[in-house]
A and B are shown apart, each in its own frame.
Chain A
Amino acid sequence: MDKEKTKKADTDGSTEAKPTAEVKTSAKKAPAKTGAKIPVKKAPAKSAAEGDVKNAPAKTGGKAPVKKAPAKKAPAEADESASKLVISSSPHFQTTENIPRIMYTVVTALIPAMAVSVYLFGLRVLMLMAVCVVVCLVSEYAMQKARKKSVRVHDGSAAITGILLALMLPPGFPIYGAVLGSLFSIVIGKMLFGGLGYNIFNPALIGRAFLQATYPVLITTWVDPGAVINAVDAISAATPLAMMKFGGEATGLGALFFGNTAGSLGETSAIAILIGGLYLRYKGYINWKLPLGYLGSIAFFAAIFWIYDSSTYASPFFHVMAGGAMLGAWFMVTDMVTTPVTPCGQWIFAIGAGFLTIIIRLFGGLPEGVMYSILFMNAFVPLINRHTKPKVFGELKAKKT
């Protein structure tokens, strides 16, 4: 049986072949020793005449050859025909869960953050978000067409990338920059790796990192909420993290919580992100270990320095709520594709990323470390997965391979 179901390995990762090898046969072909017939009242003559046997694309890997059984039976005998028997591998039950549902739930969860950013920074940010999403979708579609892969741009993953990238940009960021960043995210960060599921790094973060390198000034030009935003004469303001790092001035926790500070579109309001994140948790699409481990580790390492010298270092509450930590914790550390699958690995990933975030924030050249810390940990995911295999049932001593 297994041989029949053999499929050629698709080395480039795309899996367009059918999941199940089907051998369709009509029951009338059965020897029917007992002479009994399956009573089927109205059987179309066509299906009675066809005894199609679709062989599995076993060795050929190509299209299944279709053999036509000799259609000896007259249409009048159609009542003898039974329902087609479909052959497939067990299990024959599957959940109704699917990728688009997961992805669009994430999009839904991002709505509060998007809404708050429009409220804080005005309608221009809507434009920014729309541009990012549209460019992501179009470039993914174009790449899939160009690589002659099945078009699955509708699965929602590109939309998430676009929204997340937009939420990480300063409100006054020029449109052409957003276009470039989105293109980089999808084309370089995702599609060149093989598309959804094969990218090593979080595409949105890759796009953001690209923009950070390309437009270092523009991407750190912030405005206060409510300021008239115009890319030409933006009234420059400092983010809470920059104020902390370069001026030693801590922003109030209330402002951080509700988002009334300068910063990227969707990163300022902790509460909006939290609502979305908890919704995702309620839906079961994120593992609580990841956001909790990440925020907990940020708080823990920040607390060490804070206790050591509270006049120089900000409080753990500040670090958890300032900058991109919240957005990162709920929407990037939890990205399924680029994070570990094993429970132990998820802890390592989350805690490691939190540790790096604090190190970069306190001792690096940049005020913010969320982006690089997560990208850095992304690179370790295959390694982490390999070395944190769960314990096999009944294994007496954990054998390391």
Chain B
Amino acid sequence: MIQTQRHIKKTMNLKTFDKGVHPSDHKELTANKAVRTAALPKTVIIPLLQHIGPPCQCLVKKGDIVTEGQMIGEGTSFISAPVHASISGKVKDIDAYPHPSGRKIPSVVIEGDGETREWKAVKGKVNLDNLAPDEIRQKVRDYGIVGMGGAAFPTSVKLTLPKGKTIDTVILNGCECEPYLTSDYRIMLESPEKVVWGLRALMKTSGASRGIIGIEENKLEAVHAIREAISGALDLEVMVLETKYPQGAEKMLIQAAIGRKVPTGALPLDVGVLVNNVGTAAAVYDVFFYDKPLIERIVTLSGDALESPDNLLVRVGTTFEDVINQCGGIKSECREVEVLNGGPMMGITQSMLSVPVIKGTSGITVLEASDIKKKSVEPCIRCASCVNVCPMGLMPYRLGDLGLMARADDFTSWSGMNCIECGCCSYVCPSRRPLLQWIRLGKLRVRQQPKQ
């Protein structure tokens, strides 16, 4: 459905960033599937680290009885977000468990008692005018809100401006440029009012006067839904952007939407912009209207190796295995698959399915392992494809070589540390060179260098 509206691109002057790639989006698999609530998991594994920053301090001990929504891990530093029990039950274990990032992270295992708590709407009308920015910020922090797009940066930290910085624009990221993923699309379609209210709350907290929701033109129905929810407000705007990867990358989105370029090494707030995911805005709504911490999220389960792709509302801590089974499991004819936390461009492959869904899991993509990757790497023929697509203006073919050869100084001087790891270079390479992998290696080598 959303695919058939491609021709509109020609008639609309769509905004976008320079370079980038156009992978086929495969969103038709789940775009028209309404969000379905996943079965209540019997056991959840809740990592104490579900955000960027240090892990939380555990507040419970083995054998404790916890209730749904109870805080079980508290942040110890400024950049952190607490975690909450996503089901009621008994704490069965506290130990290091596999995490979708590939590491083992201290986690709380809760064995559910089968009870669910009903999250009732808060009594009385929630009025944004009656809420002070500090109050919003504190509540967003206490309720464990993090960026829902994948990176899981604590939202309250973003909302805390360093002295001397001001923000004039809040951009909500509804691009969802990763192929296969449709969780943001479904949020915008099914609860546009949550997104818009969340945007207003974020604007109020950051002091911004302008709100923009950037949506790629392959999601025009979401554009209509949000436009209706905005209902003519002058300070809010829906911006239709070209469907291009990585449109949803923070710096690319800011350039596309308002034409500002975030300087090298700087943050969006240095150009007066705050970028949040549409899912984050909806989560902020739930905090104020239902008094509900971030204990569940919408996860797109898709991929060519998945029996019946779907959008599920999943409790944080549910294992991948559990949710994949709720979508019919992996196709039996697919003997070798890649299970990704996220989409195919930036997702991380999982070595086991016992890893839990975390706050940043926007999708689980199950792909049949491609034969392409098994083929040997061909020599670089300087076709310049990678140079022509790198949205950061780098020279990936060279950086890949430098990373591989462990030439950390040269890697830095060729601006390798500016790589945003979007993967466009590896995507276009006709020689199948895993450029991004080598660039990551180069970055690692630079970080391991002793500081002078």
- Of chain B, the residue at the smallest CB distance from A94 is B372
**Shortest Cβ distance from B363 into chain A, in angstroms?**
12
A34 near B43 with CB under 8 A, answer yes
A33 near B381 with CB under 8 A, answer no
A38 near B324 with CB under 8 A, answer yes
**Shortest Cβ distance from A63 into chain B, in angstroms?**
14
What residues of chain B lie closer than 8 Å to A47, measured between beta carbons?
335
- Is there a chain A Cβ closer than 8 Å to B132's Cβ? no
Identify which of residues 75-116 in chain A touch chain B, using a CB-to-CB cut-off of 8 Å. 82-95, 97-99, 101-102
* A7 and B440 alpha carbons, distance in the complex (Å): 12
* A338 and B382 alpha carbons, distance in the complex (Å): 8
* A92 and B245 alpha carbons, distance in the complex (Å): 14
Identify which of residues 386-444 in chain B touch chain A, using a CB-to-CB cut-off of 8 Å. 387, 391-395, 397-398, 404-406, 413-415, 418, 421, 423-424, 426-434, 436-437, 440-441, 444
What residues of chain A lie closer than 8 Å to B262, measured between beta carbons?
394
B384 near A341 with CB under 8 A, answer yes
- Is there a chain A Cβ closer than 8 Å to B263's Cβ? yes
**Interface residue range, chain A:** 35 or more
- Of chain A, the residue at the smallest CB distance from B41 is A34
- Is there a chain B Cβ closer than 8 Å to A40's Cβ? yes
With A33-B43, A38-B329: A87-B351 Cβ-Cβ less than 8 Å? yes
Q: Is the interface of B mostly helix, strand, loop or mixed?
A: loop
What residues of chain A lie closer than 8 Å to B319, measured between beta carbons?
33-34, 36
- Is there a chain B Cβ closer than 8 Å to A365's Cβ? no
What residues of chain A lie closer than 8 Å to B369, measured between beta carbons?
84, 86, 88
* A92 and B339 alpha carbons, distance in the complex (Å): 10
What residues of chain A lie closer than 8 Å to B384, measured between beta carbons?
287, 336, 341-342
Contact with A along B235-266 (1 / 0, CB 8 A): 00000000000000001000100000111101
A19 near B373 with CB under 8 A, answer yes
Residues of A within 8 A of B (CB): 1-3, 5-7, 9-11, 13-20, 22-25, 27, 29-43, 47, 82-95, 97-99, 101-102, 150, 152, 155, 194-198, 285, 287, 336-339, 341-342, 385, 389-396, 401
A92 near B428 with CB under 8 A, answer no
B338 near A88 with CB under 8 A, answer yes
A393 near B391 with CB under 8 A, answer yes
What residues of chain B lie closer than 8 Å to A3, measured between beta carbons?
444
* A300 and B334 alpha carbons, distance in the complex (Å): 60
What residues of chain A lie closer than 8 Å to B353, measured between beta carbons?
27, 30, 32, 38, 82, 85
A92 near B338 with CB under 8 A, answer yes
**Shortest Cβ distance from A153 into chain B, in angstroms?**
13
24 CB-based A-B contacts, threshold 8 Å: A5-B437, A9-B405, A19-B434, A25-B352, A38-B330, A40-B329, A82-B353, A86-B369, A88-B369, A89-B440, A91-B344, A92-B347, A95-B430, A98-B378, A152-B378, A197-B378, A197-B431, A341-B397, A390-B393, A392-B393, A393-B392, A394-B262, A395-B264, A401-B413
The residue from A17, A287, A401 contacting B377, defined by CB atoms under 8 A apart: A17
B430 near A97 with CB under 8 A, answer yes
With A20-B434, A392-B418: A88-B45 Cβ-Cβ less than 8 Å? no
Contact with A along B1-40 (1 / 0, CB 8 A): 0000000000000000010000100000000000000000
The residue from A31, A83, A339 contacting B336, defined by CB atoms under 8 A apart: A83
What residues of chain B lie closer than 8 Å to A41, measured between beta carbons?
332
- Is there a chain A Cβ closer than 8 Å to B380's Cβ? yes
With A31-B354, A41-B332: A94-B437 Cβ-Cβ less than 8 Å? no
B351 near A25 with CB under 8 A, answer yes
- Is there a chain A Cβ closer than 8 Å to B120's Cβ? no
Known: A19-B432, A37-B321, A38-B330. 15 other contacts (CB 8 A): A20-B437, A27-B321, A43-B332, A84-B369, A92-B338, A94-B426, A99-B378, A99-B431, A102-B383, A341-B383, A385-B395, A385-B398, A393-B264, A393-B393, A396-B263
- Of chain B, the residue at the smallest CB distance from A97 is B430
* A291 and B88 alpha carbons, distance in the complex (Å): 69
- Is there a chain A Cβ closer than 8 Å to B209's Cβ? no
* A375 and B64 alpha carbons, distance in the complex (Å): 77
A336 near B344 with CB under 8 A, answer no
* A401 and B416 alpha carbons, distance in the complex (Å): 13
**Shortest Cβ distance from A291 into chain B, in angstroms?**
15
**Shortest Cβ distance from B308 into chain A, in angstroms?**
12
The residue from A38, A84, A390 contacting B395, defined by CB atoms under 8 A apart: A390
Chain B CB within 10 Å, residue with most, of A14, A285, A336: A336
What residues of chain A lie closer than 8 Å to B367, measured between beta carbons?
92
The residue from B329, B365, B373 contacting A88, defined by CB atoms under 8 A apart: B373
